[in-house]
């Protein structure tokens, strides 16, 4: 009897992720339905991962992003996502669309997207326009403010926001030092659940947790039960969008309403 080998005969999805993060692959593999495989290319460049040309006629990819595209092009992928919330947030108006255009040129025939576009699509599909935006502790003040603007300028102005308090061991360190010093591998989801539940304002119609390196999918179901709103997370929304783009409509249980209803066709 053959054993499961995670071969993606239904869909094979590529994702660009931060070079030193383990969370995106772990969360995607936890949520992915059978017969869908996930393949990562790592990017070490600072955000955003693509630079505007001087005349803003398009973007040029950082070297490791360009290299990853060449590798992905030979892998018969069904979809590719630039899985980096910070790049979408910091890229500026039109950046996501310019990146998609460049990805499509390098990966013909492959469905392409960015994490920012996926989060906006998930909010629209959930009928939500006033999310409670939750950000990881390694986002500094500039990224936090850019994140609030990103959603407000796209018709989803946050009803409030929370930058997760990582606890006494990490609280007094500058945001930029948290990941290099190991906080990314010591993330706890129970305190995150408690902080979101306590802080979510009544005016919010969803919880949106940004940051693909921010460990959180394990608390989606518990939060949805307790705050009585859709809970959307960075890795969850990009998996959902990729599955839809690939024509994979099998519902996924245990990770929120969004994936449980993944059998809905685009536009529904």
Listed in sequence order, the residues at least 6 apart from 235 whose beta carbon sits closer than 8 Å to its beta carbon are 23, 24, 27, 28, 31, 83, 212, 217
Instruction: Report the distance separating Cα 217 and Cα 35, nearest Å.
Output: 21
Burial of 171 (0-12, 13-18, 19+ CB in 10 A): exposed
Helices (H) and strands (E) counted in the chain, each on its own, are 12, 10
Average pLDDT for the chain: 95
8 A C-beta contact, residue 50 and residue 65: yes
Q: What is the mean pLDDT of residues 54-60?
A: 94
Q: Which two tokens stand for residue 46?
A: 């600072």
Give dist(CA 50, CA 211) in Å, integer: 18
Other CB atoms within a 10 A radius of the CB of residue 266 amount to 11
Taking Cα atoms as reference points, which of 9, 56, 18, 62 lies closest to residue 37? 9
Tokens representing 74?
Answer: 């030979």
Q: How confident is the model at residue 261 (pLDDT cuts 50, 70, 90)?
A: confident
Alpha-carbon separation of residue 175 from 136, 143, 153, 205 (angstroms): 9, 11, 25, 28
Gyration radius of the chain's alpha carbons: 18
191 pLDDT higher than 60 = yes
**225 pLDDT exceeds 80?**
yes
pLDDT recorded at residue 253: 96
- Per-residue pLDDT tens over the stretch 64-117: 999 999 999 999 999 999 999 999 999 999 999 999 999 999 999 999 999 999
3-state helix, strand, coil in the chain (%, to 5): 40, 15, 40
Phi, psi angles (nearest 5°) of residue 12: -125, 115
**Please, what are the domains in the chain?**
11-116+235-257 (3.40.50.1860), 119-233 (3.40.50.12500)
Give me the pLDDT at residue 263, please.
Answer: 41
Query: Tell me: the pLDDT tens digits for 226-257?
Result: 999 999 999 999 999 999 999 999 999 999 99
Note whether 173 and 181 are within 8 A (CB).
yes
Cα gap 69→110, rounded to integer Å = 11
pLDDT in tens, 135-154: 999 999 999 999 999 999 99
pLDDT band, very low/low/confident/very high, at 2 (cuts 50, 70, 90): confident
Average pLDDT over residues 8-36: 97
- Cβ atoms of 236 and 28 within 8 Å: the answer is no
Question: Among the listed ranges 97-106, 187-196, 255-264, which one has the minimum average pLDDT value?
Answer: 255-264
Residue 267 in this model has a pLDDT that exceeds 70 = no
266 pLDDT above the threshold of 50: no
**Distance between CA 268 and CA 259 in Å, rounded?**
14
Q: State the pTM of this model.
A: 0.95
208 Cβ neighbours under 8 A, 6+ residues apart: 119, 123, 131, 132, 133, 134, 151, 158, 232, 233
Average of pLDDT values for 119-146?
98
Q: Which residues of 117-135 are buried (b: 16+ CB within 10 A; e: fewer)?
A: bbbbbbbebbebbbbbbbb
């Amino acid at each position: 009897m053959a054993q499961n080998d995670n071969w993606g005969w239904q869909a094979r999805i590529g994702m660009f992720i931060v070079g030193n993060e383990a969370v995106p692959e772990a969360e995607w593999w936890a949520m992915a339905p059978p017969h869908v495989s996930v393949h990562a290319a790592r990017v070490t460049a600072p955000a955003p991962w693509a630079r505007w040309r001087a005349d803003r006629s398009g973007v040029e990819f950082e070297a490791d992003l360009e290299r990853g595209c060449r590798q992905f092009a030979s892998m018969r992928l069904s979809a590719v996502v630039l899985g980096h919330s910070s790049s979408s947030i910091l890229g500026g108006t039109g950046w996501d669309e310019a990146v998609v255009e460049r990805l499509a040129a390098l990966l013909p025939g492959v469905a392409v997207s960015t994490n920012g576009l996926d989060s906006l699509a998930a909010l629209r599909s959930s009928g939500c326009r006033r999310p409670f935006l939750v950000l990881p502790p390694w986002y500094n003040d500039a990224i936090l403010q850019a994140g609030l603007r990103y959603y407000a300028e796209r018709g989803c102005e946050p009803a409030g926001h929370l930058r997760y308090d990582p606890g006494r061991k990490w609280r007094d360190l500058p945001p930029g030092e948290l990941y290099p010093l190991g906080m990314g591998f010591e993330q706890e989801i129970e305190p995150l659940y408690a902080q979101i539940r306590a802080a979510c304002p009544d005016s919010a119609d969803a919880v949106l947790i940004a940051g693909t390196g921010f460990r959180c999918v394990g608390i989606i179901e518990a939060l949805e039960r307790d705050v009585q709103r859709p809970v959307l997370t960075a890795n969850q929304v990009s998996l959902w969008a990729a599955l839809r783009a690939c024509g994979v409509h099998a519902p996924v249980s245990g990770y929120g309403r969004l994936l449980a209803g993944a059998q809905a066709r685009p536009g529904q």
